[in-house]
Chain A
Amino acid sequence: MDKDKIKKILERYPFVERENLIPILQDIQYEYGYLTEEAIKEVGNYLKLPSSKIYSVATFYSKFRFRPKGRFHIRLCRGTSCQIKGAANLEKKVYKLLNIENGETTGEGMFSLELVACMGACGLGPVMAVNEEYYTEITEDRLEEIVKGYKEIEDYI
């Protein structure tokens, strides 16, 4: 992790105000995919806040990650509409196939799973996305197919 990049992010916020904490953390996460220990310390130095305070804020919000994303980041919609259409079983299926839960990454760094509150396509549920590719009206079988497809890509590389 290079410090210059973090510095550049911090320069976007010229005022040392606590108000900027969450936006700064979001920018860092956008850049790196997750929050590293060093990044939290750097932000602390800049905003003159103890790292523990920053960590307490970052852990409160569900969007911050502390582990890197996998090569294929799976986002699964867990909105009410998708729940009624059977998304709970899909979550179990992902666990069965990849042995990961929300926020986790597989050992070799291939897949990671994120449960999303609502993806905004309730009419087409259950919805899931792998990186930027969207899949609608997913069933357990289709989920298995999709995951298999990505596994093959990975093997090929």
Chain B
Amino acid sequence: MATLKEDTNKDMLIQALLEGEIGELDHKDRETLARIKCDKITRPLIALSYNTASIIAGADKTYNAIRNYLEERDIDAFLKTIGSLGLTTIEPLMDVQLPGKARVTFSRVYPERVSDILDAVFNNFISEEYVLGQHPNDLHEPWESIPRIDELSFFQSQQRYILKNCGRIAPESIDEYIAHGGYRSFLMSIRNHTPEELCDLVEESRLRGRGGEGYPTGKKWKNTLNAPADKRFLICNAGESDPGAFMERMIMESDPHSLVESLGIASYAIGAQKAYIYLESEYEMASRRLQKAIDQARHYGLLGHDIFSSGFNLNIQLHQGAGAYVCGEETALIASLEGKRGMPRPKPPYPSHKGLHNNPTVVNNMETLLNVPVIVRHGPAWYKQTGTVKSSGTKVFSLSGKIERSGLVEVPMGTSLREVVYKIGGGLPDNKELKGLLIGGPAGGALTYENLDTPIDYEELKDKGCTLGSGAVVVMDEEGCILDTVKYYMHLLKKESCGKCIPCREGTRRMYEILENITQRPQEENGTFTLQRFKGVINLEKLAYVVRDTSLCGLGQRAANPILSTISAFREEYEEHIFERRCRAGVCQELSTFYIDVDKCTGCTICAQKCPTGAIVGSTKKPHFIVQERCIGCGICYESCKFGAIVRK
């Protein structure tokens, strides 16, 4: 893929970095800088968003289509690839910028639309059908009657500190990152601050760990810095492991240099000379781009030995996980890095005293670290202005599920979830009603429609039985079944429980069995079976509390969360499943009853032949009937009927 030629601007950019202010540069250098930032261009620029989501949507084909278009017509334009703007439903996105004009973003740019869109743009006309918006600024002449991108409802309520470069700059170019003000915080930190000062700064900013419990980051750093040792390590947990969260992957794909910079500052603050980034093995593109960013940074002297003569050394190593949800727990993560089974161990001793290879180690979530350059740049006082008193800053969410606009969202702490879902996300498709919000993945919790006004804040969410967790927000409409989702989570937790402590290993299994019993029709109606089933139902809540209170690590302690947070809020639905054996959403197929529509049935006997329990009776060419007592609700008849005569209720 085309990126800017490296090296040609290296010396100038480093000088710009060291000088601190761009004002000190001479005219020629300033021109170059403007060119790198794409403020001043001499030929048209086309930037295609190229990331996992857009590739799945077909960005590869679009890229080829654009290249062919330019070649066929012999147009001298610069084609580059950028990260994700965060809007995943309308990918592939394409930006076009003509010299002197504002940049315009088009959505859903499929290969067959490329020539239409580009033909129009090169004739100074923008077809409103495909346009998303324009990025106006003082340097460029805006387009008429094209909406501003920051005024779109998706972006209007967002406050993007962490995502500010995402989808705007080329992720594989260090030049662009530096030209947009990158690595300045890192240089400021190692030249003007001592590690202690940095820890103070972060503590003062009241930054809290974005991973789950919200432990103050500054305090964690100080503990590690003050622990006596020759070696310290920093581990950045960038593996979401939660199915349904994609923000870390997106950020790494869209702006990898910001993570490298954050790691630089944090490592310096805790006195670590080696930092690890732990990410999932499926994140191929993210790890490729990160590795490239690390190599580029080393080439520019921003990593390695004696960085900018400060005496500070740093190496960053990528470590790809091999698929284990429990590795989100810090001691399990450390075990995994050491080449062992990723099982947690009891704390204390905390990793801040005995972590990787028994050395003091800080394990930080990736989003937490990304806040650090912002704090260093603008100061803690400025940072604290955003958010609530106890939870400062912003929070990034990955919004998905049954929602109009899913994607990456960054809002100040304290914003209500209603705003996130209805204003930013655009509500539910087809005006369906919202049933619940699943927050924080399998170990998170669920919120009902009534609780939508809850502000995003560690304490407020905890009161409602939820944790911020991974930052995944999945929207459910009436077509979804709460029990089915809880069962899905419990299946995942049961599978991912490492097996070290009994409450979690056995508890998750038993809870899953109970849920399975509730969502299934009884195989036989004898007394013991029914008794067992009811015993399970009665003990479900109690069991959940035991698992929560006695498990060793966060996975077990939070494994009961999906049950505990839904059993009160969606009690009615639980009861329907248990007593009436009815699933109102029709998702729990084993609970549904099947009837044969006498008018439609032709008597072809296919269903009777396929029924595993022989519950369908009738003679050839005459309507059949289902004997409800024998039916186990497998739904095979429903699927095999060619005439749509089987009705599911």
Contacts and interface: CB of A to CB of B under 8 A. Distances in A.
B152 to A, nearest CB: 16
A120 B319 contact: no
Contacts of B488: 80, 83, 88
A61 B322 contact: yes
Contacts of A129: 56
B515 to A, nearest CB: 14
Contact of A122 (B343, B400, B485, B495): B400
Interface stretch (B333-341, B371-379, B614-622): B333-341
Interface string A88-128: 10000000000000000000000000001111111111010
B279 to A, nearest CB: 12
Interface stretch (A2-10, A14-22, A66-74, A148-156): A14-22
Interface in A19-71: 19-23, 25-26, 56-57, 60-64
A81 interface: yes
A137 B321 CA distance: 28
Given A124-B53, A124-B57, A22 B474 contact: no
Contacts of A83: 243, 485, 488
Say which size band chain B's interface belongs to.
Answer: 35 or more
B341 A26 contact: no
Given A57-B340, A57-B341, A118 B57 contact: no
A136 interface: yes
Contacts of B472: 80
A124 B243 contact: no
Contacts of A22: 319-320, 322, 336, 339
Contacts of A17: 339
B453 interface: no
Contacts of B401: 80-81, 84-85, 122
Interface stretch (B40-48, B65-73, B196-204, B244-252): B244-252
Nearest to A96: B639
B401 to A, nearest CB: 5
Contacts of A122: 88, 244, 246, 398, 400-401, 406
Nearest to A88: B488
B388 interface: no
B485 A120 contact: no
B17 interface: no
B7 interface: no
Q: Which 8 residue pairs spanning A and B have beta carbons closest together?
A: A80-B244, A61-B322, A122-B400, A123-B89, A21-B339, A63-B323, A79-B243, A123-B88
20 contacts: A19-B337, A26-B320, A57-B340, A61-B322, A61-B324, A61-B342, A64-B322, A79-B243, A80-B401, A83-B488, A84-B401, A117-B282, A118-B245, A118-B246, A118-B282, A119-B56, A122-B88, A123-B407, A124-B57, A127-B56
